[in-house]
Structure 1
Amino acid sequence: MNPRWQKLLLEYLEALAVALVLALVIRTFVVQAFKIPSGSMLDTLLIGDHLLVNKFLYGTHIPFTDKVIFPIEDPQHEDVIVFEFPEDTSKDFIKRIIGVPGDVLEMKDKVVYRNGQKLDEPYVKHTDPGIQARRDNFGPITVPPGKYFVMGDNRDESYDSRFWGFVDKDKIRGKAWVIYWSWDGPSDIRWSRIGRLVR
């Protein structure tokens, strides 16, 4: 091979290797992309929304461990988070934090109370006017140390902490940050959602 072309090829391979390493580092420690596959967070998040998730805000996970280092802040009420699903850790779920450690939570006929105060939840959607015991009434329960109680915004159609319990802090992957792409199929790109912050 021509030495000039050989040198050029090596430079390209080196640039590609650096780019791959940087992409891996960014995905592991900084941000990661997630796609919304279900309607449990309607109308905050739609099926087909693609998100970037901030992975360093709550601390960086050391790869292949549950250890977290350099946390900037703890997860807060109303944060929308991505976490390992407790019943199948190969899956990631996305829900909203309703209770942090020490909170006393209760739900009465679809209305949530935290530490005795009725929550103002403008993001909540209800699709079923009926009342179901386990889904629409629970508690009071106290959130244990190191755990979080999460619920979907589409309350009547969300499989969340009401059914399977708390999320461990070290299983939280990050905080949903921004929608970078949204579509309901190739012919239906939702331009108005692109760039929208997740709140």
Structure 2
Amino acid sequence: MTQSSLKSFRDSIEAIVVALLLAFVIRAFIVQAFKIPSGSMLETLQIGDHLLVTKFAYDVRLPSNIWLDTTDGKVLAKTGDPERGDIVVFKFPEDESKDFIKRVIGLPGETIEIRNKVVYIDGQPIDEPYTQHTKFTRNPIRDDFGPFTVPQDEFFVMGDNREGSYDSRWWGPVKRQKIVGKALVIYWSWGSLTDIRFNRIGTMFN
């Protein structure tokens, strides 16, 4: 191998190493991509939406394992608190190998109650223009819940598709340290190869 060939090979290896390190840092600390597999967040999120989730919205953490799961890692800095209305990705409490996405409804210390599908926080109904209701038969767990006081450092989350969401009404609140990040933007969306939803690409979340 000639001198120039060796230099070219070394440059290529260096470029690959730098790219891998950048990917490591981005995925561990900055953003991570998620795909929406179910209709629990309809109409806000569609099946086939692809999201970027910011991982430093609430905490900057060291990765807790080689898979770059930043939940449960050491907190380097606290950057904010989840707020009502935030769409968050978190480790599913019943199987932490799965990531779920829901909307934050109840904050630590608040008392949440659902009466005939209407959500009350500390006795007052809240405005929820994002919700979808598809079934009008009553379910005592789904449609009439509580009152329940959210523990400290935990959050009560629900899907926008209220009759099609498996959420905190069934399995309880989410611990703060299990929150992976906050939905940032839809970077791709399709229903199939022939159904690319260009109008959804670039949708931002507050």
Instruction: Name the TM-score, length of structure 1 as normaliser.
Output: 0.98
Deviation at 1:52, TM superposition (A): 0.3
Gaps of 5+ in 1: none
Deviation at 1:15, TM superposition (A): 0.9
1:138 aligned residue: 145
Counterpart AA for 1:168 = K
3-state SS of paired residue (2:196) = coil
Q: Percent identity?
A: 57
Q: Does 1:108 align with 2:115?
A: yes
Q: Deviations over 1:126-156 (max 9, x none)?
A: 1101111011001111000010000000000
Mapping of residues 150-169 of structure 1, within 5 Å: 150-169=157-176
CA distance in 1: counterparts of 2:24 and 2:54, whole angstroms: 15
Mapping of residues 3-152 of structure 1, within 5 Å: 3-64=3-64, 65-152=72-159
Q: Does 1:2 align with 2:9?
A: no
Q: Deviations over 1:25-65 (max 9, x none)?
A: 11000000000000000000000000000101101222114
**Residues 109, 152 of structure 2: 8 Å contact kept:** yes
Gaps of 5+ in 2: 65-71
CA distance in 2: counterparts of 1:37 and 1:179, whole angstroms: 14
Q: Deviations over 1:8-35 (max 9, x none)?
A: 1110110110011011111000000000
Instruction: Provide the aligned length of Structure 1 versus Structure 2.
Output: 199
CA RMSD of aligned residues (A): 0.9
3-state SS of paired residue (2:78) = coil
Q: Deviations over 1:70-127 (max 9, x none)?
A: 1211000010000000000000000000001011100001000011111110000011
CA distance in 2: counterparts of 1:66 and 1:86, whole angstroms: 17
3-state SS of paired residue (1:135) = coil
3-state SS of paired residue (2:141) = helix
**Residues 157, 173 of structure 2: 8 Å contact kept:** yes
Counterpart AA for 2:45 = L
After TM superposition, the runs of 4+ consecutive aligned structure 1 residues lying more than 3 A away are none
3-state SS of paired residue (1:45) = coil
